[in-house]
Amino acid sequence: MSTQRRLQAVIDAQDSADGDGVKIRRIAGRDVNAQLDPFLLLDEIRSNDSADYMGGFPAHPHRGFETITYMLEGAFRHKDHLGNEGVISRGGVQWMTAGRGVIHSEMPELSDGRMHGFQLWLNLPAAEKMKSAAWQEIGSDQIPVIDLPDGGRVKVIAGAVEHGAGTVKGPVAQGSTRPTYLDVELAPNDIWHLAVDPDHSLLVLVFQGSSTELGDGQMGVYHEGDSLKLEASGEGMRALVLGGQPLKEPIAQYGPFVMNTIEEVEAAIRDYKEGRLVA
């Protein structure tokens, strides 16, 4: 018999800034690390004012985790130390494994207009933090979409969703945390059920409209069970649904470096300053 997960905690996104003054809404911090595990941070950029995002994210390093950038509107150009370059545009995803080290920039590709997207940080287990860097560039046409009976839809970016007599799988190659990343849109008062791994963490971030439990900019942490029930309010809703195998490992973080000990973070800082981060 299926057991429905219950909402255990609500985390409010906080207004913040990063990069060269880019305005964001952020969910992160030591006080929520255990609730987010294996995720570390979720940022949302949403603005019609180019002054809020034109500074972009000039060249900066990462080590020890993965970054997932998902664009709904607008576009960012990515460049890295290996010469990789590409544009993440509307509906597209870049899944970057920093591993041992990456130095990259993310700069806006438009001078005005609507910019809306998310960046999610996914932790790596200790045994994989120094692995080689890797990238997955995924266009919107590669992401499967499930049309729901009442007019909603589900975009399956990572993980799998049971639908009808089959299973719809996202295009992202699965790592050890076996992440789920869904973009779910529900019509007013619609209800949707998702089968989930009972061992996985499960998070829901509403970013448009509201559910019967969460409003815009709120992340719900759902515990204990093998199914999730989402019910939209009378205005409908759109949300990210995130899941993954928790690592339950110590986290030592300093800005863009996420390791397991302070000594490892200090080594990352030295490597960066002395030009060995990406060696």
Task: Answer yes or no: are the C-beta atoms of 200 and 245 closer than 8 Å.
Answer: yes
What's the pLDDT score for residue 279? 66
Pairing of strands 85-88, 76-80: antiparallel
Which CATH architecture does the domain made up of 6-273 adopt? Sandwich (2.60)
Q: Residue 11 burial (CB < 10 Å; 0-12/13-18/19+)?
A: buried
Radius of gyration (C-alpha) of the chain in whole angstroms: 18
How far, in Å, are 45, 56, 146, 166 from residue 257 at the CA level? 22, 20, 36, 40
The alpha carbon of residue 114 and the mean position of all alpha carbons in its chain are separated, in whole angstroms, by 20
Beta bridge partners of 182: 156, 241
Q: pLDDT 10s per residue in the chain (279 long)?
A: 789 999 999 999 999 999 999 999 999 988 899 999 999 999 999 999 999 999 999 999 999 999 999 999 999 999 998 888 899 999 999 999 999 999 999 999 987 899 999 999 999 999 999 999 998 999 999 999 999 998 999 999 999 999 888 999 999 988 899 999 999 999 999 999 999 999 999 999 999 999 999 999 999 999 999 999 999 999 999 999 999 999 999 999 999 999 999 999 999 999 999 999 986
**Amino acid identity, residue 247?**
L
What's the pLDDT score for residue 101? 96
Task: Answer yes or no: are the C-beta atoms of 205 and 219 closer than 8 Å.
Answer: yes
Q: Where are the domains of the chain?
A: 6-273
β strands within 64-144, DSSP E: 65-73, 76-80, 85-88, 93-97, 102-108, 115-123, 134-138
The alpha carbon of residue 27 and the mean position of all alpha carbons in its chain are separated, in whole angstroms, by 11
What's the pLDDT score for residue 1? 75
